[in-house]
Structure 1
Amino acid sequence: MSVPTSVVEKYRTVHSVDVAAPAERVFGIIADVTNWPLHFAPNVHTEQVESDAGVERIRIWATANDEIKTWSSVRVLNPADGRVSFRQDVSTPPVEAMDGEWIVTPVDAANSRLDLVHTFRAIDDDPAGIEWIHAALERNSASELDGIKRLAELGDQLDELVFGFSDTVHVEGDGADVFDFLNRADLWPERLPHVARLDLVEDLPGVQVMTMDTSTKDGSVHTTRSVRVCFAPNRIVYKQTEVPALMTAHTGSWTIVRSGTGVDVTSRHDVTVRPDAVERILGAGSTVADARAYIQRALSTNSTTTLRHARDHAEGRRG
């Protein structure tokens, strides 16, 4: 895999944080880019496009100054030196070029320091573009560093707080009709009994920002805000940017796979429990395990309801 040539340094930013965790743990969080959307607020979706001998190409969808941006970067991972260097090979305006480096420095066996360096050029060296990039880097870098610090300092507790699960329904129908049902979330208030209200904006084709009111069996209504990236004809990924109080993060996906004369449709959820909210929401003495069970039951109920209605929609069109 070829590595893009270095950016001619025009502007440079450095953000740093001290972490009460070993350097190896911090480096591991940086290296595991596929879990960034679950861990870091700005990241909506990340994909490892290719990987070879410590060099990888990744694609990222993320919020920047309240806008959804996507770009592609090549990263070089050097765990021996605690460094991950990156260069954007496909940038999004107003960025003309950007590169940088994560640097993890051990302080002692239990503490480390993390520096995040960016260098960039703006298209036409436009002052407004330069200001926009500086503001986005200031906000996102601080959020990512805080996220890494929080995760690393959780230690083994993180494994208890993060969990995932899937529900699958077989559909004797056309996958295109299933995708249409899932993609047209603006019609969900008419189609799904648990969706009380949904506002959807799609300024970029295939990138949807939606605010949804979901009603529960006890009559309460929860408002969530999500960003979805739609990959026609068989996959939609999303991140809730405004989550219920029992979670700190929730990402998910809908996938459609051909099976026999129909398709299998799977809803996937990945969640991080908010530990300080468990007893406040579920009552004194409640545990993280109780919260995991409660969350899975609620999410699975809604997603299987959506899957069944998508099945009925697609099978009705076929038959």
Structure 2
Amino acid sequence: MSEPNRRDTAHSCVVSAPADVLYGLVADVTRWPVVFEPCVHARFLERGAREERIGVWARVGGEVRSWTSRRLLDPARLRIAFRQERGADPIASMSGAWSFRALAGVRTEVVLTHSFTAAGDGSALDWIAAAVDANSERELAALRRLAEQEQPVDELVFSFTDQVRLPGAAADAYEFVRRADLWPRRLPHVGRVRLTEDPPGVQDLEMDTVTADGTAHTTRSIRLCFPAERIVYKQLVPPALLFGHSGAWDFAPARGGGSVVTARHTVGISPGAVREALGAGVTLAEARGRLREALGANSRATIAHAGEHAHAAGVGGGTGAVA
């Protein structure tokens, strides 16, 4: 059997920001769904001082694909190398590196390289190359857009959680959140919903919502469902105030009965949109506070209704899985 074809690519850009800031954005995978357009979800599987394993779910060529990568971090040299341990067809192997070279005038050259082989003919290699080219350009553009803002990254990208204990089973609360197609008649802040699921566990959700202050939003999200335990999402069309929004719902049994549901949000504020979205004179700190309250209120409302559903399912002796 012949060795699969190999191809090497390199993409680069110059960013008006310190090299260590850019290195930090790439090193912290928990922010990737907000920072990088293609990324839907990323998490640490193993984490050491210089070596780690991560799981990544991303939109590639119009569909959600997942893989596991091992990364070697070198903060002294400002370099992060990666190698996929488990990829998805037609990728036979994939490796590469991020490197950050400081330039004069607080500028940085960012270089992203890939080396890959295809499990198939030349057309498969071309498909991989096209996907790598498209995603690499988007990722570099996203780094530049965020790092070149006047405000520090930590003031623009932030996370928060709400945790509520419920009387019903975690599995029933999970089903309530998973069945978003039923939300218009179950949740007062949700209007129209369009939900598709293909393949199983990967949902495309578009919906109209109203926040506590009466503001209406239309959003579209990709959701990944991990049965009875977790649902993560990334908004493809976030509200105008945000350049990115991702989150997760976690469901766990509680000691002594019932369940605990945790809603987590990670958001990225577009500073230039604050005035138009919230009015003149609103500071970035005030915008963060309003976002935290508005998004948190909707999450808490959803959790409360999930609790009622789970409790009713438990009293009725059913799972509530089918409504």
User: TM-score scaled to structure 1, two decimals?
Assistant: 0.91
Contact 2:166 2:307 in 1 (8 A): yes
The correspondence of residues 3-152 of structure 1 with structure 2, limited to 5 A, is 10-108=6-104, 110-127=106-123, 129-152=124-147
Sequence identity (%): 45
Please state if 1:236 is matched with 2:256: no
Aligned equivalent of 1:3: none
Identify the range of structure 1 (23-32 vs 154-163) with the bigger mean alpha-carbon deviation. Answer: 154-163
Counterparts of 1:73 and 1:207, CA distance in 2:
21
Aligned equivalent of 1:200: 195
Cα offset for 1:299? Answer: 1.2
SS of residue matched to 1:204: coil
Aligned equivalent of 2:165: 170
Contact 2:223 2:232 in 1 (8 A): yes
Counterparts of 1:290 and 1:53, CA distance in 2:
36
Contact 1:199 1:210 in 2 (8 A): yes
Counterparts of 1:10 and 1:165, CA distance in 2:
43
Q: Which runs of 5+ in 1 are unaligned?
A: 1-6
Counterparts of 2:105 and 2:279, CA distance in 1:
38
One-letter code aligned to 1:175: A
Identify the range of structure 1 (106-115 vs 62-71) with the bigger mean alpha-carbon deviation. Answer: 106-115
The correspondence of residues 153-164 of structure 1 with structure 2, limited to 5 A, is 153-154=148-149, 157-164=152-159
Aligned equivalent of 1:275: 271
User: TM-score scaled to structure 2, two decimals?
Assistant: 0.90
Please state if 1:248 is matched with 2:248: no
Please state if 1:223 is matched with 2:218: yes
Q: Cα deviation per residue 1:195-253 (whole Å; 9 max; x = unaligned)?
A: 11111122122221111111346765321011111122221111111101011111111
Aligned equivalent of 2:320: none
Contact 2:169 2:253 in 1 (8 A): no
Identify the range of structure 1 (105-114 vs 182-191) with the bigger mean alpha-carbon deviation. Answer: 105-114
Please state if 1:289 is matched with 2:303: no
Aligned equivalent of 1:4: none
Contact 1:94 1:123 in 2 (8 A): yes
Counterparts of 2:21 and 2:175, CA distance in 1:
42
TM-aligned CA distance change 1:83 to 1:136, over 3 Å: same
One-letter code aligned to 1:226: S
SS of residue matched to 2:198: strand
Aligned equivalent of 2:312: 316
Q: Which runs of 5+ in 2 are unaligned?
A: 316-323
